[in-house]
C-alpha cells in the first residue's frame, strides 16, 4: 500500500512541476516589425506603413483592451476574439512570424487593421 502512495505522490509532483513549466512559458513579450495597414471602410483607400508592435502575454492571455485568451502549442500561439471587435492574432513559434487582423467599429465608422511581420522575444 505504501508503494502505491509513494508512486502517486511522485506522479503528482511531476505533474505539478510540468504544469508550472508550461505556465511560465505562457508569460512573455514579442516585439514585431513588419507591414501594417489601416482601412476605413468606404474611404478612398488604405494606409500602409512599416510598424513595430509589441504583443504581451500574461498566463497565456494577450494583454489588450480586453484580455484575450489564447491557444498555445509548441508551434503556434492563436488568439481569437469577437468581443467589441473581431481579432485574430497568430504567432508562429517556428519561424517567429506574426499575423494580426482586427475589424471593428470606432466612432468614425467601420475599420480593418492588419499586420504581418517578424518577431523576437523581448
| DSSP notation for 75-109 | SEEEEEE-SSSEEEEEEETTTTEEEEEEEEEETTE
12-71 per-position pLDDT tens digit: 455 544 444 444 479 999 999 999 999 999 888 899 999 999 999 999 999 987 899 999
In this prediction, residue 29 carries a pLDDT of 96
The vertex-83 CA angle with 79 and 88, nearest 5°, equals 30
Q: pTM for the complete prediction?
A: 0.76
Give SS3 for 35.
strand
Split at pLDDT 50, 70, 90, the class of 2 is low
Long-range contacts, stretch 7-15, CB < 8 angstroms, 24+ apart? none
Write out the H or E segment, with its range, that includes residue 64.
none
Give the single-character DSSP code of 59. Answer: T
Q: Quote the cell numbers at residue 62.
A: 494577450
pLDDT of residue 68: 95
Contact 90/97 with Cβ under 8 angstroms? no
Cβ atoms of residues 46 and 36 within 8 Å = no
Inter-residue long-range contacts of 72-79, CB under 8 Å, 24+ positions, other chains counted: 72/25, 72/26
Amino acid at each position: 500500500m505504501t508503494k502505491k502512495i509513494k508512486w502517486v505522490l511522485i506522479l503528482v509532483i511531476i505533474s505539478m512541476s510540468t504544469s508550472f513549466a508550461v505556465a511560465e512559458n505562457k508569460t512573455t513579450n514579442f516585439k514585431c516589425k513588419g507591414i501594417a495597414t489601416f482601412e476605413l471602410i468606404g474611404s478612398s483607400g488604405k494606409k500602409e506603413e512599416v510598424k513595430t508592435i509589441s504583443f504581451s502575454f500574461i498566463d497565456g492571455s494577450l494583454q489588450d483592451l480586453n484580455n484575450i485568451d489564447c491557444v498555445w502549442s509548441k508551434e503556434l500561439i492563436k488568439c481569437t476574439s469577437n468581443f467589441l471587435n473581431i481579432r485574430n492574432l497568430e504567432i508562429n513559434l517556428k519561424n517567429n512570424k506574426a499575423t494580426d487582423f482586427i475589424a471593428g467599429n470606432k466612432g468614425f465608422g467601420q475599420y480593418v487593421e492588419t499586420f504581418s511581420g517578424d518577431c523576437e522575444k523581448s
